[in-house]
Structure 1
């Protein structure tokens, strides 16, 4: 059946991943005719976020990739002298998928035993009389009522010593809409290139963020909170006064290294670790700086380690007590923000529409030139073609990816390190010898809309060595409880833990108030002998190729541009850099993503620009404040507060 899509475009973009979406928005913003396709029914590709039902379908799609259209059907749209090259299938690049449940399908079989267990608790081995039994029944009803309030998201604190909620597969699946599970979880540096781009282009108005509230590290067999800002350093009780002075002196040297080159003389060709040792840092301080602040390893070159440290410190104090932001509803929201801008400026979108083939011919200097794609049996002509690497024909990939990404997603019943308020956590788990690649751990809770109340989502990411499960197993065993839970045992948390739910009348910055100076100070360390690790309810492991280091320009038609998929980096820096490079090759004389006007700034043709009457009581200042983006508001707040520590 013939569709109504136009057949001529300036740019056709296939795939709605991060880089592709930025390029599509940039091209549409300068008035180019853009068609943006994706064979999936969702945005994001390998950068997507799913509810629980959606990720089940994604797993199924990976196990059973769709069959491509027959070549004889597509060849009818090619002209003389043109060649058809079949497009790739992104699902075929996902491997080593392992999904597992750790809880029963239904709790009904255990409810009677669970109630009996609660009502017959003993003190010193003696069974209490009727009066005590009655009291325990009342306590159980109170606990049940409090659990129901927590499930309803009323934002009340969980009573200390309260047991965690009992979950079954059926109960979890009923809450499927409340999950946002990321395939490629990433943070934003508060002064990183993506935040600057979101603000300068005015795309920030489409997104909301929460500040990461704590940075943890694994030291001496336990979790510890890392003092990030100056306030944290001087507030912590885990660092002596002498250590505080040493740490501040070191961090100041890293911040000002451009003006104090003599400080690093002789270390240019040595590891960053050697420089830190020369400063006579204590083992704890050395660990904090190397693994948590610089996020480096024992083999990281000195000047790279200094640059990493400076990048961390530069982002402090802009939006919160740590340098990082997390997108509400998951990292998969960010590509969609750029897609929205593309659509606003005339870009056409068509999900569930694949590019079956690329039409090319020999051009100048024997280089191939792309003329069109085949989609839905139709020929769609284009001046430029932007392809997610997963959709690229194998002939375009001269060198196969030499590495991969190992990913783990875990739904748990509590935080890896309980605190007085729900925390948004980053942990760089160092390798056993300190020289290998670390495992990045990000834990998000209900206030980010990642999961229902009473649960947490833990993401783990590292470079692939074997399979995702094998690569991450050591960290999983240290942080999580992975034995099967039948619901009959009550694992009581003896730490005080409360769940903070975002209020609709409160901004995210207000949610974070009172957390300055390390909110987890009293609970800054975990008990290595504790059996109260978070119970894993469900897990997923998978591997995907890492193409950020591949040469994506060789053996590719001159007007075709390939976009790499997610990498192991913590942030989106590579995707932003790659998108800018692609755009400059297509339109080198055009501005990259100039600021988009707000709706009230747009004057339609024939309309006068004279402002209409203002409702009495409104103020221009209040109106201006109302129209600011979340990031813009926070930026001004950070400036008023003195900027970075």
Structure 2
């Protein structure tokens, strides 16, 4: 503990573990500490007994749910885009060798009380039951434009400068209906609200292209992949990476008090009477509560079931996005479902999560539209947790704080926070130029 480090990382949540791995690979001397005696922090995975202990105090889970050890219930469940940034980070760092992935069966969107497979290409648009005949043709033309668009090929721009015109302008050119715009913006481009409509269209087009490229990568029913045994494997994979490159890990360290000098700059961390010195501190919001601000809350339901979600083609793993307008809400709702097929539950059991940005104090009522899609449920746990963002100036205090996990059931916003933090900590862009064909070797089915 009495050594000096370049960086001390507090908390073994996924973001913190990715950063400690990346910084160790860069040759920085890293000490990683956690007050808990397990990896994962808020993004840990729980056995059935641990789940009961967390939400039901001392009750014991009923035997009919199966073996506790066969459950790996993610507290922050998220799928990865097969062609997305997190996969690039995994390949770039070699963490893929610690994990096995499997493609996610389905990607759906909620529209007018029903759920539909998300059409992502011109061919799928023509087959989709989500749109009428004439709307299918209009959507097909728009998808072809997006698929053919290349930054460095002016011919593909059709006279539009996507860095200047808004998404609303581009969509109006194709005359798309509101329901079509809804699923394109929220289920394909994965925007969390409708503010994207008045932003440069290039962001939405690139997000749509990522979705379509990810869908094509493994020829599955969705663009997503997910690790066998759940996300709890990810923090441990990056922890191993950090250790290989000289990082030091200490779990079960109480307090972990950040020390500041007279200028307000962090210079070390004290635990059990010993202080480790450092140049920079990286942590989750719980370690520096006076340097963060509350920006919202997430409401969620965790449901254990004995069947797949109805109307999803019997998918063993699936994401359903319920766009805000469809529910008369200010934010989208997300349904995540996984099962024994990904080794997160005993055979025949499924785990579904329904999550959204909380707008009331009553998650049971607020999450009802998503829960109603699940069919009969064996057990349900409700929860609300606060979301925080850093309120400090890292250049002044040398503290780099991650944002809390949002309600989305995909990693696109999470990994952007990691990349932004990496740039602030190191002063350089993260090199993500990798051969994505290597991803095929990363998974069992992926």
Task: Indicate how the Cα distance of structure 1 residues 544 and 260 shifts in structure 2: closer, same or farther if over 3 A, else same.
Answer: same
Q: Which consecutive residues of structure 1, in runs of 5 or more, have no partner in the other structure?
A: 64-98, 106-167, 481-532, 596-627, 639-645
Q: Separation in 2 of the partners of 1:190 and 1:461?
A: 22
Contact 1:26 1:592 in 2 (8 A): no
Residue of structure 2 in register with 1:427 after alignment: 320
Residue of structure 1 in register with 2:47 after alignment: 51
Contact 1:583 1:592 in 2 (8 A): no
Mapped pair 1:576 → 2:415: yes
Residue of structure 1 in register with 2:187 after alignment: 292
Q: Separation in 2 of the partners of 1:233 and 1:179?
A: 37
Q: Separation in 2 of the partners of 1:570 and 1:476?
A: 13
**C-alpha offsets along residues 55-89 of structure 1, whole Å, 9 cap, x if unaligned?**
234447xx8xxxxxxxxxxxxxxxxxxxxxxxxxx
**C-alpha offsets along residues 385-435 of structure 1, whole Å, 9 cap, x if unaligned?**
2121111142x23xx212122222111121222666543211101234566
| Greater radius of gyration (CA) | 1
DSSP-derived class of the 1:224 partner: strand
**C-alpha offsets along residues 40-60 of structure 1, whole Å, 9 cap, x if unaligned?**
122111111111122234447
Match of 2:357 among 450, 460, 463: 463
Q: Separation in 1 of the partners of 2:257 and 2:165?
A: 49
Contact 1:209 1:327 in 2 (8 A): yes
Task: Indicate how the Cα distance of structure 1 residues 384 and 238 shifts in structure 2: closer, same or farther if over 3 A, else same.
Answer: closer
Q: Separation in 2 of the partners of 1:629 and 1:349?
A: 32
Match of 2:213 among 301, 304, 314: 314
Mapped pair 1:383 → 2:300: no
| TM-score, scaled to structure 2 | 0.84
Residue of structure 1 in register with 2:157 after alignment: 260
Q: Separation in 1 of the partners of 2:438 and 2:68?
A: 28
Q: Separation in 2 of the partners of 1:44 and 1:629?
A: 29
Q: Which consecutive residues of structure 2, in runs of 5 or more, have no partner in the other structure?
A: none
Larger strand percent: 2
1:198 positional shift: 1.0
- For residues 115-130 of structure 1, the aligned pairs below 5 Å read none
- For residues 130-141 of structure 1, the aligned pairs below 5 Å read none
Contact 2:55 2:381 in 1 (8 A): no
Residue of structure 2 in register with 1:157 after alignment: none
**C-alpha offsets along residues 481-537 of structure 1, whole Å, 9 cap, x if unaligned?**
xxxxxxxxxxxxxxxxxxxxxxxxxxxxxxxxxxxxxxxxxxxxxxxxxxxx2x211
- For residues 3-22 of structure 1, the aligned pairs below 5 Å read 5-22=1-18
Residue of structure 2 in register with 1:352 after alignment: 252
Residue of structure 1 in register with 2:439 after alignment: 631
1:228 positional shift: 3.2
Task: Indicate how the Cα distance of structure 1 residues 387 and 219 shifts in structure 2: closer, same or farther if over 3 A, else same.
Answer: closer
